[in-house]
């Protein structure tokens, strides 16, 4: 049974591996790479970095 969802999944990454994983799972998605600086800021904790990058990528590709 195929489920439908009211939202569209956007992969905000150019990662070929992430694209491959989603495709193998049968997930429908579009790719819209976010052009952001992914550098870690001095003293920035890893968990803060990934949260900041996730927010920036989401904001960059928001429709």
Residue 46 reports pLDDT greater than 90: yes
Buried (b) or exposed (e) across 24-61, using 16+ Cβ within 10 A?
Answer: eeeeeeeeeebeeeeeeeeeeeeeeeeeebeeebeeeb
Q: How confident is the model at residue 48 (pLDDT cuts 50, 70, 90)?
A: very high
Domain ranges of the chain: 9-61
Report pLDDT for 8. 86
> Does residue 2 register a pLDDT over 60?
no
Q: Judge if pTM exceeds 0.75.
A: no
Percentage of the residues of the chain whose pLDDT score is greater than 70: 90
Percent of the chain as helix, strand, coil, to the nearest 5: 40, 10, 50
């Amino acid at each position: 049974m195929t489920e439908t969802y009211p939202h569209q999944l956007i992969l905000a990454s150019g990662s070929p591996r992430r694209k491959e994983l989603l495709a193998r799972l049968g997930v429908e998605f579009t790719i819209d790479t976010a052009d952001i600086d992914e550098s870690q800021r001095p003293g920035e904790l890893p968990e803060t970095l990934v949260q900041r990058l996730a927010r920036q990528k989401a904001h960059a590709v928001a429709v």
